[in-house]
A and B are shown apart, each in its own frame.
Chain A
Amino acid sequence: MADGHSRTSTLMLRSAGRPPWYTPDGRNLPAYMVGIAGASASGKTSVARRIVESLDVPWVVIVSMDSFYRKLTPEESRQAFLNNHDFDHPSSYDYGAALTALERLKQGLATQVPQYDFTTHSPSSETQYVYGASVIIFEGIFALYDPKILAMMDVKIFVDTDSDVCLARRIRRDVAERARDPLGVLQQYDRFVKPAYDGFVRPTTNNADIIIPRGLDNEVAIGLMIQHVQRRLDAHHAVLMRPALVSRCRGLDGPGDSLVVLRQTNQVRAIHTILCNRDTPRSDFVFYADRLSRLAIEHGLAQFALEDKTVATPTGRTYRGCAIAPDVTGVTVLRAGGVMEKALHSVARPAHYGKILIVADPASREPRLHYAKLPPGIAQHKVLLMDATIVSGANAMMAIRICLDHGVPEHNIVFIALLATAQGTRAIHAAFPAVKTVVAILDPHVTGDDLLIRSGYGLFGDRYFGTED
């Protein structure tokens, strides 16, 4: 059997917040894809890990080919239980399933990666959710075998370790970790592993861009390869989103009908004044922020078109109204957007809740995604995305992009904010024209080099949660 027997076959690694993975007009940049092939026990996984450790990329996924073993026929399955099935043959893999999953990952979409159950020799009913990798490493003995998968890869590596080194490692590993007897390991090697390598694996060196002799020991080759990959990735992330959005939308006109501003009633104006006032005590700030949130949420819910419904009233007459939206998911952009969750909870039931944590990078103030957890089935829900303020629109864009990446259509998203700049809403509209934006207060400008609102609420989350300096 190929390696990876008892290991986690898909590994998502996060070291820091993820910078924007899309262009200022909201389109995903393709993830960078590395293919690593080589003989069984040649050190592919170690090379993959070394790449991950050396690259300055926060979110990386290592996908093993083991996830894509195909379902065996009943006879093959019987043989597999007798250790008589050739798992090292190229026909043991479901390349279609691998292609589907890798294509989704490459496009930056939330992906369910299959898992293979080695105890039953069949694909597991469980899948692994993977989202947000800027670099995908696909490793396995036939990683460089299928032409369609090869066409997706940005760099193709073949780890060419001496076959006796591989065999020695394999015996050591299988005996120590998997309690096999050495003779059985050797038999399997002679019958399946060696012929498969000579006949099918080794020829894929022709598809490689880089062949690394001696595996992980070859620090020069690995170092050169990492430099190459890093240069390509740096070019991806050269754009600073906030200034790009602001300058891009400077010349544009109004945001069109995707922006809905609350009626500027006496109550809304008076509450806004209280929130703007730096001398407002915290208890009042919380109370009036909650009140404004509730108004904004009600207005957000009112944006969804609902189906007609006729009911009989207790007087025996009929009333022609609407049916309430069946599945509403509230997604809060933490921290400040979390303030509005309470208001949604008060009005919508049952509602599902997703949370996204976006934090400004201290140096550049650019958004960084740290955490995203959305309810299953969100692709079929109406989604209310909530954040307290929209300034440049960069955070909102990231939050919307996450929902789109999880299959929510634009027209099912309503973004709700208490305070927004016209520029920010224009940036959202330019990128995602079918997303409705509902704001309580539209404040005209961001100003200054720091691109902040001057007449706004200050640091909303800090004032609400009481964490000012």
Chain B
Amino acid sequence: MGFLGVDVGSISTKAAVIDDAGEVVARSYLWTEGDPLAAVKRVLAEVEPQAKAAGEDVVAVGVTGSARELIGAALEAQVVKNEITAHAMGTLSRHPGVHTIFEIGGQDSKIIIVRDGVPVDYAMNTLCAAGTGSFLSAQARRLNVPVEDFGDYALRSTKPTKIAGRCTVFAESDLVHKAQIGHPQEDLIAGLCQAIVMNYLNNVGKGKEVRAPIVFQGGVSKNVGVVKAFADITGEEIVVDDDGHLMGAIGVALLAREGEGRAEFEFSAHDVEFDTRGFECGGCPNDCEVVTLSRAGEFLDGWGNRCERGIERAKADISDA
């Protein structure tokens, strides 16, 4: 039996199929490109042949990530779970002795403190996306260096430039200024990696006891420059799992395996057109922004309403259309 986990993040969409023993038999990692429904179709198309080749029929689906409600409804998932819990479960299955999990994704970053195999504390960045993947991508574009090569540039530097990492706006103006006065590109990039790490440890990691072993994951963990900066600043070895970017998908697949819900999952049945609609309720001055998901004019689910009226009006809105 196979268990499908899908992690639909703001920047990338990940899918993994695990078997009864928790081994990953199928994996996929693609850009979300602002269209989570389309991205999920593409990752499903990639994992389906791999799962079939391994002889695993999917019997339960788990969904996590910021688009989990939408995708959970579209895939009729048995488990819909927040990404913090999913990441903790995924990492613990691979690294049972871990004490600290660093995780930096496209729009958010978090720290999970684990003791004796149990998550005992966590924190997540608040409003600001300073020090996350999207900031790195934006700076890579400014410096005209592919973000995939960022790490290699950083490793070539021997004297990282000091960049103020507190806020992306400050960091960017600092970066521009330092570039204009002649700092070489590799030093700027290494400085940026250090700034991200300092920002992370001072904000997300503030007040937490960072104890080794440390596992670093999320899209930014693929950047060797940031990994080195973490190692330099914490003075500890930083473990990066080859499947580090898939931990959310693996974790939520494990949760689906633990759960009781079972239903045969037909990949082909989900290759249909879904329709999402945004709609301002207007039932009261709160004017909830309701989003609905439908398939061939049939209402499936809706979000964002504070009361029942929102869903009723949204259903009427669909049948009018």
- Asked if A and B are interacting partners, one says no
Chain B residues near A (Cβ < 8 Å): none
A residues adjacent to B (C-beta < 8 A)? none
